[in-house]
Amino acid sequence: MAVGIFDSGLGGLTVLDAVTKRLPDVPFIYFGDNAHAPYGVRTADDIFNLTCASVERLWDEGCDLVILACNTASAAALKRMQETWVPPEKRVLGVFVPLIEALTERQWGDNSPPREVAVKHVALFATPATVASRAFQRELAFRAIGVDVEAQPCGGVVDAIEQGDDILAEALVRSHVEALKRRMPHPEAAILGCTHYPLMEKVFQDALGSEVKVYSQASLVAESLADYLQRRPQFLGAGTQSKFLTTGEPAGVSNKATQILRRKIAFEAA
């Protein structure tokens, strides 16, 4: 009954942590494509091919449902995967939709026409590839009208987090927030559009100011997944054990993951 969690690196651990707390009886298999991270500076074709290869590996582990806990993959590859590649008996889901449903105050799975919402000015912080895809704006337009989105490509932040350089990561976050606020001085809400960014959520909040509501994905994705599995229990796969897989060097990846989650994490070679 395992579910797969995929990320290009370690950011998806924020989602894994939330879903394991929400669904403690479900085994989760985490796959980090650390050898090819970060995805945020790659081409759309490259991201598509790497993501498909990683998802196939999770299918081999008995995961019929895979969550792309990577906004770049969700933005640049998911639509193409669902339309051209994923077989009917499998499911691959992204992390944008739960976030947008929360922002627009819609119930999970509400497919009614787009409507006016309370929030009019939204700041989006994401990787360069996610920003270039405009996937967030496309998904938002299905659900809301009249929302102004200002997107800031946050180059360097994922690298700094993956390398454990908190000082550089904080400096980059503050620089990116400053750059966005020059174009949108008074955002009402901010979207942390990368699963690495919750690790810097306090810095984003401090730089934006207390009046800006910051939306982070992990808990929203966990709630959405619980609802999905209640409605579609047939997509609980055959896998029975939780595990961590990486294309990177397992010992180094394990040490970084342990620091992030503050509990012992042991990755295996994928």
Residues labelled catalytic: 70, 194
Can you state the percent helix, strand and coil of the chain, rounding each to 5? 50, 15, 35
CA–centroid distance for 120 within its chain: 23
- Report how far residue 11's alpha carbon sits from residue 196's, in angstroms, rounded to the nearest whole number: 4
Alpha-helical runs (H) found in the chain: 13-22, 44-60, 71-76, 78-84, 96-103, 128-133, 135-141, 157-162, 166-183, 201-208, 218-231, 250-261
Interstrand relation of 91-93 and 28-32 (parallel, antiparallel or unpaired): unpaired
